[in-house]
């Protein structure tokens, strides 16, 4: 049987949004019959942005509770907290010694930080070294597949590079090379603004465990068709984030019916959004 590993970092307040669910959690339900499943709460990775002990503890606990609620049945899933397994940091140190700095300088997170007028002296070593800890997270469990978004594919490429360097240095085949698992339909889960990937830091999310009024407001603010001025104008469903989300959460027949009505100008945006809200709840 194949093996899959995924990790979610307790960033922000530790709560999950539908992008987290579609991009990682749902894979563990879908792949139950074909894969051994390892799911990690990546609390060590959160240290690059969170310095307070109590904040990290609260965020981690919130994330664990959220994941348990979504997964329901944990049978067949190895669910663990990264910091409880010291081999993650031990392997990171070993991999440090076969990884050239040039490889890390090409990492997107590091380059993005530099591009935001941040000087080298302001970047902590944890952020620079982040890809090696991620490689250790993955290689430690020797998974065949790692679910990531298209924008995170580089992490797997770096991990494969590090594994090859280790195997070559020690003339062994200790680490098999993992593959990115990127279902096309969730390769990038766009946010409610229709412009950027769904992210808590960008404020373009639909939450999962928030108050109903908060979720309803997020749904009602979701990007639709900017060219549609009146409710009886024919509308576009392509690129319309409400219909994008309904493809995952709506009932198939009802969603297709609404798409046809929308294209014919027979249903208003608010009605479609109301149905998305009902489908999520």
CA dihedral angle for residue 188, residue 191, residue 192, residue 193, rounded to 10 degrees: -110
Cα 212 to Cα 181: distance, rounded to the nearest angstrom = 33
What is the enclosing helix (H) or strand (E) of 139?
helix 125-139
CA count, 13 A, side-chain hemisphere, 201: 6
Helix axes of 108-115 and 125-139: crossing angle, nearest 10 degrees: 160
- Tell how far CA 60 is from the center of its chain: 16
- Kindly give the pairing relationship between strand 2-8 and strand 35-41: parallel
Known catalytic membership, residue 266: no
Residues 6+ apart with CB under 8 A from 173: 167
Active site annotation includes 217: no
Catalytic member of 197, 216, 263, 266: 197
Residue with tokens 């090696």: 132
153 is annotated as an active-site residue: no
How far apart (Å, rounded) are the C-alpha atoms in residues 215 and 30? 25
What residues are labeled active site? 113, 197, 200
């Amino acid at each position: 049987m194949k093996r899959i590993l995924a990790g979610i970092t307790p960033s922000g307040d530790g709560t999950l949004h539908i992008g987290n669910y579609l991009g990682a959690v749902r894979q563990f339900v879908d792949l139950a019959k074909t894969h051994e499943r390892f799911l990690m709460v990546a609390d060590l990775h959160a240290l690059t942005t969170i310095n307070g002990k109590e904040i990290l503890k609260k965020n981690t606990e919130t994330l664990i509770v959220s994941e348990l609620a979504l997964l329901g049945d944990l049978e067949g899933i190895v669910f663990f907290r990264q910091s409880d397994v010291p081999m993650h940091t031990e392997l990171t140190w070993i991999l440090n010694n076969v990884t050239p700095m040039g490889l890390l300088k090409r990492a997107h997170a590091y380059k993005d930080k530099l591009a935001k007028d941040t000087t080298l002296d302001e970047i902590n070593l944890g952020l620079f070294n982040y890809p090696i800890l991620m490689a250790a997270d993955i290689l430690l469990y020797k998974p065949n597949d790692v679910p990531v978004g298209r924008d995170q594919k580089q992490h797997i490429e770096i991990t494969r590079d590090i594994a090859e360097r280790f195997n070559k240095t020690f003339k062994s085949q200790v680490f098999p090379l993992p593959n990115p698992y990127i279902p096309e339909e969730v390769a990038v889960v766009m946010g409610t603004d229709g412009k950027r990937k769904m992210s808590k830091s960008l404020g373009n999310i639909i939450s999962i465990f928030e108050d109903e009024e908060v979720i309803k407001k997020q749904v009602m603010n979701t990007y639709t068709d900017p060219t549609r001025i009146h409710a009886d104008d024919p509308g576009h469903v392509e690129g319309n984030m409400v219909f994008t989300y309904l493809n995952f959460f709506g009932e198939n027949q009802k969603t297709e019916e609404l798409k046809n009505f929308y294209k014919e100008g027979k249903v208003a945006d608010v009605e479609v959004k109301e149905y998305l809200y009902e489908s999520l709840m």
